[in-house]
Amino acid sequence: MLRHFGMFAHYNRWANTLLYDAAAQLSDAEFHENRGAFFGSLRNTLNHLLVADRMWMHRFTGTGEAAAILNAIPHDALADLRAARAAEDQRIIDWVETLDDARLAADITYSPVTRPGAITHPLRAAVAQFFNHQTHHRGQCHMTLTALGKPSLELDLIYFLRGEGRRWM
């Protein structure tokens, strides 16, 4: 499980880099344009991913920023958002490297922003959700890019594993 989450932490950074490289090719109007994703625009969806990752990392570590709402926009400009994303991706990798089997088996308790009340389950389930959520919304970002007429991205895990991620196989 530890190696699996390490792979996902590095894959996450790799996929985000590809996604942000593609976003950098957009005009500002395209970046802000609502193309029907759950959070509307690429800007909003990328901000949601950052906000949600920070919420989870705050739950996991007790440190860092944590917005009170899922649709917060901490960064309007792509350059600022990209810098924050790169820092958060490194923070995730660094944190995953501190985990051990006992910690993953231990319970985590938190209160979701979507509904009041404590939720408790093993940390390993929360970490799996954390990485799954990122993949889910990166898919929406991919849809937004293709709806804007941009080339399709190869974000599948297998592409990472065939290249930069070979050490995780």
32 is in an annotated binding site: no
121 is in an annotated binding site: no
Let me know: does 42 contact 29? Beta carbons within 8 Å.
no
Residues near 20 by Cβ (< 8 Å), separated by ≥ 6?
Answer: 46, 78, 82, 85
What amino acid occupies position 49? Answer: L
Annotated binding site for a divalent metal cation: 48, 133, 137
Annotated binding site: 48, 133, 137
